[in-house]
Amino acid sequence: MTMSDDQTGSTDQANDRATHPGRDDPHTAHIVDGNAVVGALQDLLAGDLSMLMLECGGCRATAPLAEWRVEADRDAFIVRCRSCTHTLWTLLRDDRGAVLRVAGACDIRPAAV
Ligand SMILES: [Zn+2]
């Protein structure tokens, strides 16, 4: 989803800006392309991935990736909450490689320092 797809906000194409009125502090965001998020995404995924902190969108349980329940078979790894069984995300494997499918609300943060 892009900011322009956000059903809660509005986009002013002429000014390349979007508003996010549903937030506690409504503000204006700039519309940019995907390159803008690459550095932040690389920072998030740098280091020991087993220590990424995940928060379940279902029950808000939080733990490092290494401690979550994973259902693994030939084609996929399904990461599920140990407390409420909510599916956080699925890593699929096919003949074209890996695909990460985020199933629902799930916060992913760098390992605690
Ligand atoms: Zn949960």
pLDDT, greater one: 84 or 104: 84
Q: Is residue 69 part of a domain?
A: yes
Structure tokens belonging to residue 72: 């693994």
Tell me how far the alpha carbon of residue 52 lies from the centroid of ligand 1, in angstroms: 16
Q: How many structural domains are present in the chain? A: 1
Give the structural domain span for 70. Answer: 48-113
Q: Is residue 29 part of a domain?
A: no
Query: pLDDT digit string (tens) for 50-92?
Result: 999 999 999 999 999 999 999 999 999 999 999 999 999 999 9
Tell me how far the alpha carbon of residue 55 lies from the centroid of ligand 1, in angstroms: 8
Q: Is residue 40 part of a domain?
A: no
Tell me how far the alpha carbon of residue 77 lies from the centroid of ligand 1, in angstroms: 17
pLDDT at 12: 56
Residues 77/70, Cβ–Cβ less than 8 Å: yes
Q: Is residue 79 part of a domain?
A: yes
Tell me how far the alpha carbon of residue 87 lies from the centroid of ligand 1, in angstroms: 8
Q: Is residue 22 part of a domain?
A: no
Q: Is residue 100 part of a domain?
A: yes
Q: Is residue 34 part of a domain?
A: no
Q: Is residue 41 part of a domain?
A: no
